[in-house]
Structure 1
Amino acid sequence: MEEFERACLCGIEFGVLGVFSTPTNVRLTSYNMNLVLRWDPPEGAESSLVYTAEYKTSVTSYSVGCVNIFSLECDFTYPDTSMRSSIIEYGKYTGRVRAQLGSESSAWVESNQITLDKDTIIGSPNVSLMSNGATIEVTIKDPVFTISTLRDVYMFATYIITYWKDGQKEKAKHISKIQQNHVVLDDMDPWTKYCFQVQIKTDRNPNHNKPSEIVCESTTNDEEVPWVGAMVTFVVMATAVALVVVAVVYRKMISHFLCPKDALPQHFKEYLLAPPTSSMYLAMLNSHPPDEIYHSLEQSWAHHRT
């Protein structure tokens, strides 16, 4: 009996220590200038375990980010408190997290330190293509930042444009140090499909930039373009001539349709042409205007003085 009780007590003690062991793999990350602390749960943790996460700068103490959350991450850019986030573009940050169950808590586990503008992962730009003959126009749109904008943080950011003929990526060409977000490439072969990929390059964050998705577009032939206009002109003129011919050939039918010559019945004509016989109309016709009654100005003035 004593051995059983001792085993139970040891089991309870082991369970408590296991539940309140610290979170693992705690790391502070940033994507497009957000600030997110992530971690893994303690080994053997219960599903009812909650976490509290905090962050600090290199010159301030810890501030609350998330309290009693079940998820395994906390976005400090949008803290779960009534206080407004104080994350800035060039700050140095560290995070920490602890596990909680009821009134019991584990020890704090601190993360790595990151400098936001140097360590944030810059997301993929959006790339669109438009073919015009044997040229291709490339339009680039910067990723949206949670804090500030790409151009405000990285004033001298440039693009690296990589393109190749479809199926020949090993022969890709590169254009670097592009600052414009609209580029026209006119050294393309006609009737060829090209694929493009763009990556953002910054001096302060050289190794944390994701390339765009690969997009492809086919060129045509500049010599074929005038024929398109000539064909459109021919179709328009042919349609106009056909309409004129139809109007001439079927002019009588069209005239009869628009201006029918059907005569009105005789009794309708007699009714419309007959003089009015209404008694009211005749009374108005034979009536005389009423006599007007007036007084001269002198008579009115004399009467007023008397």
Structure 2
Amino acid sequence: MNSSCWYSCVVFLLLEVSLVFGDLSCPQNLTLHTLNTQYILQWDWGHEAAMNETVTFTAQYIAQFKTQRPTQRHKWISVCVNVVERRCDFTDSGLFYLGMFLLRVQAKTAQQSSHWVLIEFCPDKHAAIGPPSSVQLNSIIDGLEIIVTDPIDSQNQSMKELVQNMKFLIQYWKKHEDVQKANTLCTENNVVTLSELEKWTWYCVKVQTHCEFYNKSSVYSDTQCTQTGGETTNLVICLYFLTSLVVCGVVFLVFFLASFKAYKTLKSTFYPPITLPSYILEHMAADNDMPKLLIPESEIFCERLEITSAEVSAAITLMEQDQGIETHSQQDSGDSGFISTEEDSCHKEYSLRKHIKHNEVHIEDMCKMNHSEEIQVGMMDVLCLKS
């Protein structure tokens, strides 16, 4: 009985020790996802092993040469501490690109800890290199100019400063041909000229970064296509000119039609056509037949009044008849009376001509002023003088 109790106590103690010192399952399948100087460590872990407890992870690293020194082998640098995610970003942790490092991960719960799982990492050897950050094509006569920009690290610096003997593999081919027939050019230069190509022909280009030391190659950049140049012939110039004329004509026609349409729309909106009622039109037609008090300016006319010498003589005769008695009495007085009669007659004729001239000028002034009533008054004056 005592032995059985002792055995139970020993088993219980062993279970407690196992819970404290690490029966928790370890992270598995440690994988580094890298590109240039971006490093992300990922791992797997089974959910059922924690018995519904919250599990956290801690990731650390150390330079490999420090593990060979007893005084520094325990100086691990923690990057992720008690994180729930099954990943840790080592990009900004200070890993030297040409160095050798050890990375490790441990799983923890409130009462348990797993063993550390190690992985060796050398960025220069294991990190993937990226494609050129940009590729630009320029068309020249009988060829293409290719401008390649270096891949950049997490600090926006050129990877050429870290990667030894970095080169570019350039593939180019005609657009209508299969990419399998592409020509390949290896160069260290960032500006490359492809000469002796066919004129006015479309070519496609893609570029890959390559490191010969570790035989690393990036994926290809996006394919870009452009047309090669050539000498411009007179026929091409004429075609361009005619095309520009046609385009300008079409644009002008469209603009004119659109303007006319807009004008019609605005006119119909702000000045809509209104038809007057029939009774108003009849009243207006009746008003046109009625006499108007004011004579239109186009209907006003004036003629020059001319008085001949015969009319003057007739007027003098009428005046002499009115004074006949006085004339006869004066004739009996002798020679002196005859002379005075002649003088009076001349004086009367001069006065009459002066009065008629004055009336004629007055009539012309009235015609210029377009005043019909004054014309009638002038005519009445003349008629009175004749009578």
- The answer, yes or no, to whether TM exceeds 0.5 is yes
Aligned: 1:71 with 2:79: no
1:173 to 178, 183, 199: 183
Q: In structure 1, what is the equivalent of residue 194 of structure 2?
A: 185
Contact 1:162–1:174 under 8 Å retained in 2 = yes
Q: Which has the larger radius of gyration?
A: 2
Contact 2:165–2:213 under 8 Å retained in 1 = no
Structure 2 vs 1, CA of residues 133 and 230 (structure 1 numbering), >3 Å: closer, same or farther?
farther
- Within 1, Cα distance between the matches of 2:185 and 2:167? 11
- Within 1, Cα distance between the matches of 2:131 and 2:181? 23
- Within 2, Cα distance between the matches of 1:89 and 1:221? 43
Cα distance, 1:95 vs structure 2: 0.9
Q: In structure 2, what is the equivalent of residue 301 of structure 1?
A: none
Q: In structure 1, what is the equivalent of residue 34 of structure 2?
A: 30
Q: In structure 2, what is the equivalent of residue 114 of structure 1?
A: 121
Cα distance, 1:233 vs structure 2: 9.5
Q: Alpha-carbon deviations, 1:228-276, whole Å to 9, x = none?
A: 77888999xxxxxxxxxxxxxxxxxxxxxxxxxxxxxxxxxxxxxxxxx
Aligned: 1:42 with 2:46: yes
Structure 2 vs 1, CA of residues 227 and 152 (structure 1 numbering), >3 Å: closer, same or farther?
farther
- Within 1, Cα distance between the matches of 2:91 and 2:107? 21
* 5+ long unaligned stretches in structure 2: 1-15, 67-74, 245-387
Structure 2 vs 1, CA of residues 133 and 70 (structure 1 numbering), >3 Å: closer, same or farther?
farther
1:149 to 144, 155, 158: 158
Cα distance, 1:225 vs structure 2: 6.6
Q: How many residue pairs align between the two structures? A: 216
- Within 2, Cα distance between the matches of 1:186 and 1:106? 63
Q: Alpha-carbon deviations, 1:19-72, whole Å to 9, x = none?
A: 931111013453202333211122536694321111111123421110121222
Structure 2 vs 1, CA of residues 136 and 225 (structure 1 numbering), >3 Å: closer, same or farther?
farther
Contact 1:134–1:189 under 8 Å retained in 2 = yes
SS at match of 1:38: strand
CA RMSD of aligned residues (A): 3.4
Structure 2 vs 1, CA of residues 47 and 195 (structure 1 numbering), >3 Å: closer, same or farther?
farther
What amino acid sits opposite 1:159 in the alignment?
A: F
SS at match of 1:54: strand
**What percent identity do the matched residue pairs reach?**
28
TM-score relative to the length of structure 2: 0.48
Q: In structure 2, what is the equivalent of residue 51 of structure 1?
A: 57
Q: In structure 2, what is the equivalent of residue 252 of structure 1?
A: none
Q: Alpha-carbon deviations, 1:51-96, whole Å to 9, x = none?
A: 1111111123421110121222212233xxxxxx332121101211
- Within 2, Cα distance between the matches of 1:122 and 1:196? 20
Name the one with the larger helix percent. Answer: 2
Q: In structure 2, what is the equivalent of residue 248 of structure 1?
A: none
Structure 2 vs 1, CA of residues 88 and 195 (structure 1 numbering), >3 Å: closer, same or farther?
same
Contact 1:93–1:114 under 8 Å retained in 2 = yes
Contact 1:128–1:215 under 8 Å retained in 2 = no
What amino acid sits opposite 2:58 in the alignment?
A: T
What amino acid sits opposite 2:195 in the alignment?
A: D
2:139 to 108, 111, 131: 131
Which one scores higher on RCO, CA 8 angstroms, separation ≥ 6? 1
Contact 1:36–1:77 under 8 Å retained in 2 = yes
Contact 2:210–2:218 under 8 Å retained in 1 = no
Contact 1:20–1:42 under 8 Å retained in 2 = no
Name the one with the larger strand percent. Answer: 1
TM-score relative to the length of structure 1: 0.60
Cα distance, 1:104 vs structure 2: 2.7
Contact 2:61–2:78 under 8 Å retained in 1 = yes
Structure 2 vs 1, CA of residues 220 and 37 (structure 1 numbering), >3 Å: closer, same or farther?
closer
- Within 2, Cα distance between the matches of 1:175 and 1:77? 33
- Within 1, Cα distance between the matches of 2:174 and 2:240? 32
Q: In structure 2, what is the equivalent of residue 160 of structure 1?
A: 169
What amino acid sits opposite 1:44 in the alignment?
A: E
